[in-house]
Every structure is written in structure tokens, then in C-alpha cells.
Structure 1
Amino acid sequence: MYIAMNRFKVRPESTDAFEKIWLERETHLQTLPGFVEFNLLRGPERDDHVLYASHTIWRSHDDFIGWTRSDAFRAAHANAGKVNREAIYLGPPEFEGFESLQTVKADSTE
């Protein structure tokens, strides 16, 4: 399993705009080999920003790389250049990728 995360520092006055961009976009993720799950997470609020993270789970690192090279990736990010980044973000997003070493799941026998 591979987990790809982007962390975004969003200006407090721009959280509605940020959430609208993400919640109304077409992701195209469900059509891709190896895609497992996507989550948009809202984290702690600070004086100058609210922390968000996009969290995508892939079957493998190769599946994630396939996504980044796909037409679906280009389509999902086509409008990114139209956003006034300085008005919404406090700096660029920070990417973090993780290979899973251990997975523990809830007992599903209940």
C-alpha cells in the first residue's frame, strides 16, 4: 500500500473557497488502477492558516505514479492554474508519500 498526502496551509478567510474547489471538482480517481480511497482532511487552525491534507491510498507506489502520468491526472488538475493561489494558500502544498509497513484493521466479525 502507498499513501500520498498533500498538506495545504489555507488562509483562514479562504477556507470556504478552498473547500468549494475541492468538493466540487471531478477527481477521476475511481477509474484508475490501484486506487483505493481518497480523503480530504481539515486539521488544526492556527493564527495565520488552517491546515488541510489530501490523503490518497493506492495499492502500490507504481499505481500512484501511473495516476500522476495519466490523462485523468491532467484533467483533475486542469483548473489549478486558474486559482489565485496567493489569496488562498500560505505557501505551496507539501507532498508526502509513504509506503505502508503495517496495517491494522478493526475486527469485522462483530
Structure 2
Amino acid sequence: MAKYIAMNRFRVSPENEEAFCQRWLGREVFLKTVPGFISFQFLKGPAKEDYVLYASHTIWESHEAFVGWTQSEQFRQAHAGAGQGKSLLLGPPVFEGFTVLQDIES
């Protein structure tokens, strides 16, 4: 089976950047308990005039493993607080999923 990469992109206004990072970095992580999970990265991208781009990036053994995560109790626990409190985003997150066609490692 081919690996699968799941990414969410977030546009964060500069004044919400610190709170957004604290929310992500301070949360409980359940990914390591899910079958098929390989790795996770929280990424900061370029700053534009009105927002800073952030992304979450997870690598899974397969698309099926990713779908299993989205249907798991761990997923529900990890996202239990989503949508509560002040929104720190400019619009909704943008999801992108990729099937890995080539994987070259050192």
C-alpha cells in the first residue's frame, strides 16, 4: 500500500499567531496511539500582508490508516475543543490529501 499524507493549511492573522501556536503546541497528542501513524509536523510558512500560513502535516502507512484515524475515539478526543472559543483563523482550514507515488529517503 502507498503512504498517505494529510495536510491542513491555516491562515492566521498576525495578532493571533502566538495564541494559535500555543493552542497547537499545548494540546494533548493522540496520534502515536493510532495504527498506521508514521509522523506529524506542525509547520510555519510564509508571512503575507494580512496572514501567516501554518500547516499540519501527517504521514500515514495508507489512506485507510488515515480514514481510521478520522473515525477513531482518539480523533474525537483530539478535536473535542475545536470550534470553541475565539476563532484564530481567517476562514476555515484547507485540507489536502496526497497518495505518495515516490518516496526517497536517506
Cα shift readout 1:20-67 (whole Å, capped 9, x = no counterpart): 000011120000000000000000000110000000000000000000
SS at 1:17's partner residue?
A: helix
TM score, norm. by length of structure 2: 0.96
How far 1:82 sits from its partner (Å)?
A: 1.4
CA distance in 2, matches of 1:79, 1:64: 21
> What TM-score does the superposition give when structure 1 sets the normalisation length?
0.93
For 2:92, what is the secondary structure of its paired residue? coil
Partner of 2:54: 52
Q: Which structure has the highest helix share of the two?
A: 1
Q: Structure 2: how far apart are the matches of 1:54 and 1:6? A: 5
Distance 1:98 1:83 in 2: 31
Identity %: 57
Corresponding residue for 1:91?
Answer: 91
Compare CA radii of gyration and give the structure with the larger one. 1
Deviant stretches of 4+, over 2 Å: none
List alignment gaps of at least 5 residues for structure 2.
none
Aligned residues: 104
- SS for the counterpart of 1:89 is coil
**Letter of the structure 1 residue corresponding to residue 40 of structure 2:** F
SS of the residue corresponding to residue 101 of structure 2 reads coil
